[in-house]
């Protein structure tokens, strides 16, 4: 893709006037509107801000790439802007941004915005080129620089392709050759920045390298079997799962994608000198065991558990909100067709809530034993749910299925390679299901049913003091990491109690919902009452937190917590804990797992529930406002 095909000189801003992130976005959008590239500036800005809410597009090194794909765009465009003083764009490296590339893609333009991001990232990895752009005086000069750099990059790619076709990378006794894979889950640019950093450093070192990218466009420059076989080592710089089985028997260095950008020379040297463990796709050898041993047991268990919870949460949210809506129609009679439809979709024996424990168990198992463990894990989770073994039974099923598959892989590791094909098709599914299902049916389900029944009974008969203490703990946990693992642990516990009671006991749901609503509301209050303690951009974002907090979206507080963790998290935990404790003091029951203000009327004490949130939010807001230092003008 040629970047200058999307850049128009008349839209370029060589001396931006904005001083804030939102001001920069507005200035770039105004340029797009003046050049008739967008038809709805408000919608386009909403989509830009929605993307920024996921993570900042300020990728670091003074560069920002805000982007959106929407029907508000008339024609695919990249508008360039240069701020000579720099703007605090909340970049990933915390430094000011000077160069801006706003990408506007029309709704039916396939992945043009992703391709543009990839193309820009490859060019902007060159610091000398970036400095040349900063020194450019006219729009024509900027366009000319990009044309020259694009031509240079295309020539290098053509040369690399010709070298590959001519078998220039064939094995020789003196050749140094490594392969790499780069991948990132959300930061699209980092995949390609790591690629170019590795290729550039390898060229300086005189090392031949082939880099496969696993970006949002899919896998590009896929490594061949011959290349993997000839490589001295493999670098996997990735923050998401990539296809690893092809590296069986090779020395593989697994590292975050950021290391590919910042430490390319170190990674290449380690790969060349074999300073990495041997990767085994099945069975596991001695070196693999040594590698696993370096990772603590708790961190491995935590990783597997979070894989299950993260896949389960969409079922909780989607099913939970529809379930809450169904309760509103229940008052019209259980024969009401809308109530019956929503109940069938969300709860009961057929809806989303019916899948919670099987999904949890299945993806825990898959994290441990890979794809062969998914089916026995899900069935084990279904057996646990059917036997009223609850979430604890589902957790047990997931870990059991995963380790059963690991055991089976070791048992069958000595089979002839000619029989490899029947392992995933016949042996793992049949024996994995039989062993997991049998152990769940005869041993684990009865045990966890007894535990689950006792736990629910105990919670139903908690004394007021103990109930308040539990509410304080759960409410406070919801504010510790604003949607992270501690937050999820508290929320999952409440979901377990709720589902085990037949979707009736919402006492714990009231505590976690109140605790999760307090942080964003408290930040909104503080930014409204103590305006001199917040920047203009933070005050504007604070207003949106009223809506996010009332909707039980704790994540609205994350940008504030990232910028000032001590004051934001400290004050939020106090208020959230108070709100959670008050819900239990007043015995508030919210029979819906999500929805915030929209499901308040379903509770037994809706006014008291609101009072709990208001008290907790005011306490947190006042602590934050008094504690936080004024913003320096």
Residue numbers annotated as active site: 67, 184
What is the number of other CB atoms lying within 10 angstroms of the CB of residue 617? Answer: 27
- List the Cα angle 25/31/36 in 5-degree steps: 125
Task: Compute the distance between CA of residue 139 and CA of residue 312 in angstroms, rounded to an integer.
Answer: 50
Alpha helices in 370-462 (DSSP H): 374-386, 390-411, 422, 428-439, 445-460
At residue 629, what are phi and psi to the nearest 5 degrees? -80, 150
Task: Compute the distance between CA of residue 479 and CA of residue 597 in angstroms, rounded to an integer.
Answer: 18
What is the number of other CB atoms lying within 10 angstroms of the CB of residue 161? Answer: 11
Secondary structure element (H or E) that encloses residue 104, with its range: strand 97-106
Q: What share of the chain is helix, strand, coil (3-state, %, to 5)?
A: 65, 10, 25
What is the number of other CB atoms lying within 10 angstroms of the CB of residue 93? Answer: 12
Pairing of strands 77-87, 97-106: antiparallel
The partner residues of 247 in beta bridges, in order of sequence, read none
Distance (Å) of CA 411 to CA 379, 397, 455, 614: 22, 21, 38, 59
Q: Six-digit token pair at 133? A: 């752009």
Contact indicator for 514, 579 with CB cutoff of 8 Å: yes
């Amino acid at each position: 893709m040629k970047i200058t095909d999307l850049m128009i000189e008349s839209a370029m801003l060589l001396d931006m006037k904005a001083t804030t992130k939102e001001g920069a976005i507005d200035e770039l959008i105004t340029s797009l509107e003046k050049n008739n590239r967008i038809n709805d500036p408000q919608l386009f800005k909403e989509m830009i801000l929605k993307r920024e809410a996921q993570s900042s597009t300020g990728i670091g090194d003074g560069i920002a790439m805000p982007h959106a794909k929407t029907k508000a765009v008339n024609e695919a465009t990249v508008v360039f802007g240069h701020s000579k003083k720099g703007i605090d764009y909340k970049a990933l490296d915390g430094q000011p941004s000077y160069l801006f590339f706003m990408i506007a893609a029309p709704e039916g333009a396939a992945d043009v915005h992703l391709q543009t991001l990839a193309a820009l990232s490859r060019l902007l990895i060159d610091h000398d080129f970036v400095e040349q752009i900063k020194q450019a005086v006219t729009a024509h000069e900027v366009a000319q620089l990009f044309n020259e750099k694009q031509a240079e990059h295309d020539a290098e790619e053509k040369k690399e392709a010709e070298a590959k076709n001519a078998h220039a990378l064939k094995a020789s006794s003196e050749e140094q050759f490594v392969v790499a894979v780069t991948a990132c889950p959300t930061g699209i640019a980092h995949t390609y920045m790591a690629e170019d950093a590795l290729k550039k450093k390898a060229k300086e070192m005189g090392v031949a390298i082939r880099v496969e990218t696993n970006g949002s466009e899919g896998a590009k420059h896929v490594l061949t079997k011959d290349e993997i076989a000839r490589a001295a080592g493999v670098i996997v710089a990735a923050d998401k799962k990539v296809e690893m089985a092809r590296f069986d028997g090779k020395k593989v260095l697994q590292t975050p994608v950021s290391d590919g950008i910042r430490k390319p020379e170190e990674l290449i040297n380690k790969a060349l000198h074999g300073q990495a463990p041997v990767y085994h796709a099945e069975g596991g050898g001695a070196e693999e065991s040594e590698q696993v041993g370096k990772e603590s047991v708790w961190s491995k268990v935590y990783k597997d558990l979070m894989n299950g919870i993260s896949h389960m949460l969409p079922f909780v949210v989607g099913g939970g909100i529809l379930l809450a809506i169904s309760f509103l129609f229940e008052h019209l009679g259980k024969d009401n067709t809308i109530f019956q439809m929503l109940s069938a979709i969300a709860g009961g024996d057929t809806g989303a809530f019916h899948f919670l424990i099987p999904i949890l168990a299945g993806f825990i198992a898959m994290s441990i034993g890979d794809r062969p463990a998914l089916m026995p894990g899900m069935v084990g989770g279904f057996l646990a749910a059917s036997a009223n073994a609850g979430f604890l039974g589902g957790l047990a099923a997931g870990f059991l299925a995963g380790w059963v598959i690991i055991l089976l892989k070791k048992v069958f590791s000595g089979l002839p390679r000619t029989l490899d094909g029947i392992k995933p098709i016949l042996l793992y599914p049949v024996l994995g299901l039989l062993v997991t299902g049998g152990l769940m049916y005869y041993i684990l389900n009865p045990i966890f049913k007894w535990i689950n029944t006792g736990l629910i009974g105990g919670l139903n008969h908690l004394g007021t003091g103990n109930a308040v203490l539990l509410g304080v703990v759960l409410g406070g946990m919801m504010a510790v990491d604003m949607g992270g693992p501690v937050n999820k642990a508290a929320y999952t516990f409440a979901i377990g109690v709720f589902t085990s009671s037949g979707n009736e006991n919402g006492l714990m749901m009231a505590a976690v919902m109140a605790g999760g609503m307090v942080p964003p509301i408290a930040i909104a209050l503080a930014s409204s009452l103590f305006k001199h303690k917040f920047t203009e951009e933070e005050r504007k974002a604070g207003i949106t937190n009223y809506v996010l907090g009332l909707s039980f979206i704790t994540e609205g507080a994350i940008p504030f917590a990232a910028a000032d963790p001590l004051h934001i998290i400290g004050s939020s935990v106090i208020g959230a804990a108070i709100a959670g404790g008050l819900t239990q003091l007043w015995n508030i029951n919210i029979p819906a797992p999500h929805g915030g203000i929209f499901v308040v009327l379903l509770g037994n004490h809706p006014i008291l529930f609101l009072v709990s949130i208001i008290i907790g939010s005011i306490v947190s807001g006042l602590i934050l406002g008094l504690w936080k230092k004024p913003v320096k003008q």
